[in-house]
Amino acid sequence: GSTAGTIGLAIARIDRIKAALDADLPIMAANIPVTLAIPRWAKFAFPQEAVSAEEA
């Protein structure tokens, strides 16, 4: 990933991110909680139905 101050760019599996958010689990990067967002220009979104971590 890349960073500029407190903003970063990363590649993440949106199915696993959605599953973590649905389970109220924190998203962490090197033991630091982070907030993820999909840019408005992107042609994809978080899945409507999340899969469990075991299924992913």
Question: Is residue 49 assigned to a domain?
Answer: no
Domain count of the fold of the chain: 1
In a domain, 48, yes or no: no
Q: When comparing pLDDT for 30 and 53, which is higher?
A: 30
- Tell whether 22 is covered by a domain: yes
Range of the domain at 15: 2-33
Q: What does pTM read for this prediction?
A: 0.60
Q: Residue 23 has what pLDDT?
A: 92
Is residue 11 in some structural domain?
yes
- Report if residue 55 sits inside a domain: no
pLDDT, tens digit, for every residue of 20-46? 988 999 999 889 899 888 888 989 887
From residue 55, give the alpha-carbon distance in Å to each of 12, 15, 28, 39, 49: 16, 10, 20, 26, 12
pLDDT band at residue 3 under the 50/70/90 scheme: confident
Reading phi first (left if > 0) and then psi (alpha if -120 to 50, else beta), residue 24 is in left
Q: Is residue 14 part of a domain?
A: yes
